[in-house]
């Protein structure tokens, strides 16, 4: 019996469409997991935040390496960043994702460890990653998920090894550094995402006599950014968002995984959005081993060249 023409054409279309769609899907997954995930980008920004007349200060911002021992390309790329000759390295956390990763992370930093550096920790430095349905990220920040009680990654070794190399631990602490001839007052908080931030321990006016005041955190939560800005910190740095990690071309991040809005999920902005302080959010170097893909959101580190602000 002859079939209706429309049925026949529909079947042909479906027979073509299914393999083409499946092929495109497989290509996108391959691209996101193999190519873009290892296609590291160096972002460069000038930040006019220094006293008039100061010489430029190069700050290297790294974040969210989520290092596992097999990620040799990531390690080699981080090590190569020493060639940028930064005066100061700022690491905003989620450095490791595996019990054996601390020596690998130190090895990746290599000569950068001999430079002045500061750091805070992120939740992934403390808790080994678990498999999640990625769709959960679309329903709200992962801070609403259950927080495990006992950390199972060697965050103390990470902290101690970085501190032993001379880097400043800014987890709920203040610090002070002189780099490039500039007196810098710093404060940081531990990860708000797992409720370890204790802003009250660093609260109070940042020293107005310092040349620069820097606030450091893992997750750019507006309530923390507000407090740093109100206390007079000129320059705020955070990571955590992965820039959205899986983005839509010409649209950007679908989610930020924290309280900040999509428009400031990555890059250099002001805080408040129309305010005085500068905010840099790093899209990060890595991914959770359980979601090893990036799309329209290359892994990155940032060279932030601090320059004199315009005199008022």
Task: Please state the separation of Cα 248 from the chain's center in Å.
Answer: 19
Phi, psi of 43 (to 5 degrees): -90, 145
Among 36, 94, 125, 234, binds Fe ion (CB under 5 A): 94
Kindly indicate which of the ranges 58-66, 203-211, 243-251, 257-265 contains the residues binding Fe ion, using the contact rule CB under 5 A: 58-66
Kindly indicate which of the ranges 59-67, 81-89, 98-106, 222-230 contains the residues binding Fe ion, using the contact rule CB under 5 A: 59-67
Kindly indicate which of the ranges 61-69, 84-92, 102-110, 113-121 contains the residues binding Fe ion, using the contact rule CB under 5 A: 61-69
Count of residues that bind Fe ion according to CB under 5 A: 2
Q: Which is nearer to Fe ion, 232 or 289 (CB)?
A: 289
The CB density around residue 16, as the number of other CB atoms within 10 Å, is: 10
Among 36, 49, 59, 64, binds Fe ion (CB under 5 A): 64
Kindly indicate which of the ranges 41-49, 71-79, 86-94, 227-235 contains the residues binding Fe ion, using the contact rule CB under 5 A: 86-94
Output the smallest distance, CB 284 to Fe ion, in A. 6
Phi, psi of 281 (to 5 degrees): -110, 120
Q: Which is nearer to Fe ion, 64 or 211 (CB)?
A: 64
CA-CA-CA-CA torsion sign (119, 123, 128, 133): negative
Whether residue 268 contacts residue 303, with contact meaning beta carbons closer than 8 Å, is answered with no
Output the smallest distance, CB 48 to Fe ion, in A. 29
Residues 6 or more apart whose Cβ sits within 8 Å of residue 62: 78, 81, 89, 90, 91, 92, 282, 285, 301
125 sits near Fe ion (criterion: CB under 5 A): no
Q: Which is nearer to Fe ion, 123 or 229 (CB)?
A: 123
Q: Which is nearer to Fe ion, 179 or 283 (CB)?
A: 283
Output the smallest distance, CB 156 to Fe ion, in A. 19
Output the smallest distance, CB 304 to Fe ion, in A. 19
Q: Which is nearer to Fe ion, 191 or 211 (CB)?
A: 191
Phi, psi of 144 (to 5 degrees): -80, -10
**Ramachandran bin of 244, using left for φ above 0, alpha for ψ from -120 to 50, beta for the remaining angles:** left
Count Cβ atoms within 10 A of the Cβ of residue 85 and give its class: 0-12 exposed, 13-18 middle, 19 or more buried.
exposed
Q: Which is nearer to Fe ion, 120 or 185 (CB)?
A: 120
Q: Taking the C-alpha atoms of 186, 192, 194 and 198 in order, what is their torsion angle to the nearest 10 degrees?
A: 60
Q: Which is nearer to Fe ion, 94 or 197 (CB)?
A: 94
Report in angstroms the alpha-carbon separations of 143 from 22, 96, 123, 167: 34, 18, 10, 28
Q: C-alpha angle with apex 238: 235 to 243, nearest 5 degrees?
A: 125
Output the smallest distance, CB 18 to Fe ion, in A. 36
Which residues contact Fe ion (rule: CB under 5 A)? 64, 94
């Amino acid at each position: 019996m002859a079939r209706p023409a429309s049925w026949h054409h529909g079947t042909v279309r479906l027979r073509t469409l299914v393999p083409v769609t499946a092929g495109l899907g497989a290509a996108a997954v391959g691209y996101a997991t193999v190519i873009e995930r290892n296609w590291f980008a160096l972002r460069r920004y000038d930040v006019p935040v220094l006293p008039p007349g100061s010489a430029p200060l190069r700050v290297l911002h790294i974040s969210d390496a989520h290092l596992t021992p097999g990620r040799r390309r990531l390690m080699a790329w981080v090590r190569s960043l020493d060639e940028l000759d930064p005066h100061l390295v700022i690491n905003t956390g989620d450095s490791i994702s595996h019990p054996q990763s601390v020596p690998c992370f130190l090895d990746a930093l290599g000569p950068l460890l001999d430079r002045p550096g500061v750091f805070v920790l992120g939740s992934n430095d403390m808790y080994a990653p678990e498999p999640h349905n990625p769709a959960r990220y679309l329903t709200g920040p992962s801070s609403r998920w259950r927080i495990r009680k006992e950390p199972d990654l060697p965050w103390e070794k990470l902290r101690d090894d970085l501190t032993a190399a001379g880097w400043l631990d800014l987890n709920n602490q203040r610090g002070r550094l002189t780099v490039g001839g500039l007196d810098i007052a710093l404060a940081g908080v531990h990860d708000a995402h797992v409720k370890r931030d204790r802003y009250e321990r660093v609260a109070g006016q940042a020293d107005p006599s310092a040349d620069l005041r820097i606030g450091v955190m893992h997750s750019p939560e507006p309530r923390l950014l507000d407090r740093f800005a109100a206390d007079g910190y000129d320059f705020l740095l955070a990571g955590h968002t992965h820039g959205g990690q899986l983005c839509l071309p010409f649209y950007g991040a679908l989610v930020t995984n924290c309280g900040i809005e999509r428009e400031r999920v990555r890059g250099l902005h002001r805080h408040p959005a129309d305010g005085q302080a500068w905010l840099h959010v790093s899209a990060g170097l890595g991914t959770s081993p359980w979601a090893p893909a990036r799309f329209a959101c290359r892994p990155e580190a940032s060279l932030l060249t601090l320059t004199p602000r315009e005199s008022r």
